Amino acid sequence: MLGKTEPACLLIADISGYTSFLADAELDHAQDVLADLVGTVVASLRPTFRLAKLEGDAAFVYLLAESLDAAATQDAVERCYFSFRRRLRDIGQASSCDCNSCTLVPKLDLKVVVHHGPIVRPRIAGREELIGSSVVVVHRLLKNHVPDNGGPRAYAMYTDAAVAAMGLDPAAAGLERHAEPFEGVGEIVGWVRDLEAAWQDELDRARVVVDPTEASRTYTANLPAPPAVVWDFVTSPGLRPQWQHGVTGVEEQPGSAGRRGVGTVNHCIHGQDAVIEEVLDWRPYDYVTYRSQLPIPGTPPIVNTFAFEPDDAGGTNLVLRFGRPRSAKHRAILEPILPGLDVSIEHGLAALRTAIDADSASREAAGGIAASEPAVPESAGRYLSEPVSRTA
């Protein structure tokens, strides 16, 4: 029996070049590498997305939602790619094996297709399946001509339906238009982001973070949710008033179209006053650094970093550090303000735990993010434990 129709964001992350890689590679090591990389991709997309199915060298995931946060969706896609690239690098550095499989690993890459549309989730033979024309569309788009038409090899393609759900002007956001004709479906318009270019920007961008040795104040909270969930509560303008002490609203001025990140300016409304925040560094879901100007005449700006550290229980150790002003004059101005800041932060972190507890309870009542998800194969790590020579 079919279930109800639900709106969903559908995403497929597909490892490019795996077929040719497999043809020239030792099978045992190739299987381990695939399991390692697919596991990395799936882990980076959870818990925002739920795994629907593993399809060989691709992961098919989805998120039930009528609309999408443009910044959060693009951040999730790019974080997935960055995690994939870091894992490729780590495999190459960790392995002493020079077999064909391990030598060819750097030639692998990733492409991501994102669509939005109605789906139905019936249970077939005890397993949840996704069906509907939207499922067909996102799969057909894997066989596209982006690289053939001079586009990037590593890319994210967002369909018109996906950018509409994000409320995004794709051209203003720097996405390139690409159309694909499909028999029986018609022309599908997608918008392409060069993920290799995004990765290079990530590597080149300077890091701005308050180090523990530079902090005038450090606050910590252990929260029962993974970093991606805590990140949303800390950075989303719509969620911050739920927990941030005295904040009644956050007015956001993005630094670029449809993106939250470096250059974004937030006006955190506190009654008649506002704290002005500028994002100095943005690394989902690792840390975010702000420069904040308090609504007190004569006070210097304060640089503060929220760091999100996963714990062994699936939760997050949230660490908030306020930087120590460099000049004695500015330290003297801020010193009498700090006790009041302590009270505000402690109230806020307590409210954040309450909000996350409620969110976790809601997720559990709905069956949990990971309920009924397919198992992800684990790599045996034979390219590390059993290195071989290609001439053996």
Given a cut of 50, is residue 368 above it in pLDDT?
Answer: no
**What average pLDDT score do residues 355-359 get?**
93
Give the torsion through C-alpha atoms of 209, 281, 77, 197, to 10 deg: -110
Domain annotation for the chain: domains and CATH numbers = 5-202 (3.30.70.1230), 205-365 (3.30.530.20)
Q: Which residues of 272-299 are buried (b: 16+ CB within 10 A; e: fewer)?
A: eebbebbbbbbbbbbbbbbbbebeeeee
Dihedral class, residue 218 (left if φ above 0, else alpha if ψ from -120 to 50, else beta): beta
Report d(CA 130, CA 121) in Å as an integer: 5
- The string of pLDDT tens digits covering residues 145-173 is 898 888 899 999 999 999 999 999 999 99
- Residue 370's pLDDT is 42
Report d(CA 113, CA 162) in Å as an integer: 10
Q: For residue 43, which of 95, 7, 86, 9 has the smallest C-alpha distance?
A: 86
- Residue 27's pLDDT is 67
Beta carbons within 10 angstroms of residue 215's beta carbon: 18
Torsion 108-109-113-114 (CA) sign: positive
From 80-84, 232-236, 335-339, 353-357, the region with the lowest mean pLDDT: 335-339
Report d(CA 272, CA 321) in Å as an integer: 26
Contact 337, 343 (CB under 8 A): no
Cis bond upstream, residue 290 (ω within 30) = no
Strand partners, 189: 179
**What average pLDDT score do residues 242-261 get?**
89
Contact 270, 289 (CB under 8 A): no
Given a cut of 90, is residue 102 above it in pLDDT?
Answer: no
- Residue 119's pLDDT is 96
- Residue 23's pLDDT is 66
Report d(CA 193, CA 174) in Å as an integer: 8
- The string of pLDDT tens digits covering residues 262-278 is 999 999 998 888 999 99
Model's pTM, two decimal places?
0.89
Given a cut of 70, is residue 384 above it in pLDDT?
Answer: no
Question: Angle between the 27-45 and 70-94 helix axes, to the nearest 10 degrees?
Answer: 150
- The string of pLDDT tens digits covering residues 7-54 is 999 999 999 887 776 666 666 667 888 888 999 999 999 999 999 999
Strands (E), the chain: 5-16, 50-55, 58-64, 109-120, 123-124, 127-128, 155-159, 176-182, 186-194, 215-223, 249-253, 265-270, 273-283, 287-293, 302-310, 316-323
Mean pLDDT of the chain, nearest integer:
89
Share of the chain above pLDDT 70, in %: 90
Secondary structure letter of residue 256 according to DSSP: B
Given a cut of 60, is residue 392 above it in pLDDT?
Answer: no
Place of tokens 């180090």: 211
